Structure 1
Amino acid sequence: MKKEFYSNGKLLITGEYLVLDGAKAFALPTKFGQNLIVEEKSKPEIHWKSYDSDGSIWFEDTFTFENITINDNTEKKSSIRNTLICILHEAFKLNQEFIDGSIGYSISTTLTFPRNWGLGTSSTLINNIAQWLEIDAFILLKNSFGGSGYDIACAQNNYPILYHLVNEKPIIEKINFNPTFSDNLYFVYLDEKQNSKESILSYYNNKNRELTESIIKNNSITQKVLHSTTLSEFALALEEHEAELSLILEIQTIKESRFPDFEGVIKSLGAWGGDFVLAISKENPKEYFIKKGFKTIIPYKDMIL
């Protein structure tokens, strides 16, 4: 029997880092994502093959069921293998039936975006595995990879969301966001992949003040973003968001550090310093970013569901 699953990628527009402490985050699912195909085989093992968006295989390996049940990462030193075994081990703890049976599996995953883009290679995988095994993807994320879970919410929903945690439980609100100025919004890939786990750890290590007021301010700014009716209102709100988080993280905004001459607003998305940024500009900024060495510039309508 063949089963197929799909999950959306994600972009976090507001609430980065602070969402971990209960702030409301505005996030958008993308037109890009990842699928997972599961086929049964007679041998009690899992043969895994992962394809990048260009059709190339970026990971392939075989795990015995024992590797998964005891979380055995000793056979090989591949960090990808170790991470995958960890996720499957936590999935096994939530649903042991898929390994207690006598069948094995041939599993393939395929990204519809280049793996280095940072649109949710891990979150889409975790959500797909959770769909396959009929387990809670938020619990699987928490037990394996960590994070706020907004990316899992994007993986599961085909519309803009407002996301926050209450007593570590995810609250997901469907919102209407269809800006008339979407033609002035562009996503630019910085070609510097950020490690989500390391970024979260750095945030916790560097928090140097009480965040209650910052969370209140974040939520207020997020509402400004969602209710902006003009490009200038939207840009000013996100510029304010950047300035506030810059104070908390004690680092320069991405515009200050890399694009000080840009005529518009640039907003970091997710972990600061890498992956995509949102460029807000009255004119098409493609030529500007290409001259700076950045060739991947995607209009809003081509990125967002």
Structure 2
Amino acid sequence: MSVSFRSHGKLLLTGEYAVLDGAEALALPTRFGQTLTVEEGDTPGLAWKSLDHEGRVWFEAHFEDSEFDKNSGHPSGKDTRSILLGLLREALRVNPEFRSKISGRRALSRLEFPREWGLGSSSTLISNLAQWAGADPYVLLWNAFGGSGYDIACARADGPLTYRVQNQVPVAEPVLFDPPFKDHLYFVYLNRKQNSREAISAYKKNGAKQEGFLQRVTEITRAVARCSAQDEFNALLKEHESLLAGALQMQPVQEQLFPDFKGVVKSLGAWGGDFVLASGKGDIPAYFRNKGLDTILPYRDMIL
């Protein structure tokens, strides 16, 4: 007998960084996600295997039953095994009855997107673990990694949503965000890793000091969510980029890399890394291929 779970990946269209301080953000669950299948094993303990999007094993471990005991010490190190063991122990702390579901099991986790894309390999894993354990996924996330939790909201959502944290409680509300111009929207992978911690540090120094910053981000989020005209959509995204540029003391990605693009290029999530959203007219894929970028996904292929 086996059980299976699946969670969606995530992209944050508006509200990056500001969502940490209570601003409302527009979040987009992706068609790509991660699955977790658990079945009876033939040895004590938990045998774990993780596959990448091409079916290759990228992580494998075996956990003895004794490693889940309360007095077995805290997992040390930041390697994948220690992080996963910490998550499993936290799930046991939240729901001690989970113990009976771990021993003598084999778990197989499968990613549906390249790990480097930044669509939520950790958040989809946490969401799947929480479903298996009968635990609160937000508790697992915040105790393990921190963050706003919008990625957990996306993992369980059926479509776009607005997300905020109000009095330390996550509030996710579905929205009918289905822009009529979505055939002119593309997600482009920059293949540049951005240090999120440095950007968050810069935001904490500058963002909170801007009068009306959080309120304006929320207003832009709500306007984008109901937007039906691409020119208005582009103007809102451009203003959002300008606001974040001031908060992060960073140059917007379009000014850095794509100043000649006819439309708007907006950073998503960690500024300067992973994916950007391109909104414009004409042959957008050709423009970015000419820039040496070849991972270009139409909106309808990426977003639920």
Which range, TM-score by smaller chain?
A: over 0.9
1:102–1:109 distance in 2 versus 1, CA, 3 Å: closer
The alpha carbon displacement at 1:31 in A equals 0.5
Q: Counterpart of 2:103?
A: 103
1:200–1:66 distance in 2 versus 1, CA, 3 Å: farther
Does 2:63 correspond to 1:63?
Answer: yes
Q: Counterpart of 1:273?
A: 272
Q: Matched residues in 1 for 2:244 and 2:207: separation? A: 12
Q: Matched residues in 2 for 1:178 and 1:205: separation? A: 33
Contact 2:207 2:213 in 1 (8 A): no
Contact 1:147 1:200 in 2 (8 A): no
Q: Counterpart of 1:218?
A: 217
1:254–1:101 distance in 2 versus 1, CA, 3 Å: closer
Q: The residue matched to 2:212 in structure 1 has which SS?
A: helix
Q: Matched residues in 1 for 2:103 and 2:158: separation? A: 34
Q: Which amino acid aligns with 2:173?
A: E
Q: Counterpart of 1:113?
A: 113
Q: The residue matched to 1:298 in structure 2 has which SS?
A: strand
Does 2:191 correspond to 1:191?
Answer: yes
Q: The residue matched to 1:28 in structure 2 has which SS?
A: strand
Q: The residue matched to 1:271 in structure 2 has which SS?
A: coil
Contact 2:202 2:249 in 1 (8 A): no
1:200–1:123 distance in 2 versus 1, CA, 3 Å: farther
TM-score by length of 1: 0.93
Does 2:41 correspond to 1:41?
Answer: yes
Contact 1:225 1:237 in 2 (8 A): yes
Q: Which amino acid aligns with 1:232?
A: D
Q: Counterpart of 1:261?
A: 260
Q: The residue matched to 2:146 in structure 1 has which SS?
A: coil
The alpha carbon displacement at 1:203 in A equals 4.6
Q: Counterpart of 2:248?
A: 249
1:49–1:256 distance in 2 versus 1, CA, 3 Å: same
The alpha carbon displacement at 1:257 in A equals 1.3
Report the RMSD for the aligned CA atoms in angstroms: 1.9
Q: The residue matched to 2:224 in structure 1 has which SS?
A: helix
Q: The residue matched to 1:173 in structure 2 has which SS?
A: strand
Q: Counterpart of 1:139?
A: 139
Contact 1:52 1:110 in 2 (8 A): yes
What is the correspondence of 1:67-86 to structure 2 with a 5 Å cutoff?
A: 67-69=67-69, 70=72, 72-74=74-76, 79-86=79-86
Deviations 1:249-278 (A, max 9, x none): 001011111111212101111111111100
Report how many residues are paired.
302
Q: The residue matched to 1:274 in structure 2 has which SS?
A: coil
Stretches of 4+ aligned residues off by more than 4 angstroms = none
Q: Which amino acid aligns with 1:279?
A: A
Contact 1:17 1:203 in 2 (8 A): no
Which stretches in structure 1 are left out of the alignment for 5+ residues?
A: none
Q: Which amino acid aligns with 1:190?
A: L
The alpha carbon displacement at 1:43 in A equals 3.3
Q: Counterpart of 1:180?
A: 180
Q: Counterpart of 1:202?
A: 201
Deviates more, 1:172-181 or 1:86-95: 86-95
The alpha carbon displacement at 1:129 in A equals 0.2
Contact 2:22 2:164 in 1 (8 A): yes
The alpha carbon displacement at 1:106 in A equals 0.8
Which stretches in structure 2 are left out of the alignment for 5+ residues?
A: none
Q: Counterpart of 1:284?
A: 283
1:211–1:122 distance in 2 versus 1, CA, 3 Å: farther
Q: Counterpart of 1:168?
A: 168
Deviates more, 1:292-301 or 1:83-92: 83-92
Q: Matched residues in 1 for 2:269 and 2:61: separation? A: 30
Does 2:125 correspond to 1:125?
Answer: yes
1:72–1:43 distance in 2 versus 1, CA, 3 Å: farther
Deviations 1:12-61 (A, max 9, x none): 00000000100000011111000001112253311111111111111111
Contact 1:49 1:108 in 2 (8 A): yes
Q: Matched residues in 1 for 2:299 and 2:163: separation? A: 21
Does 2:222 correspond to 1:233?
Answer: no
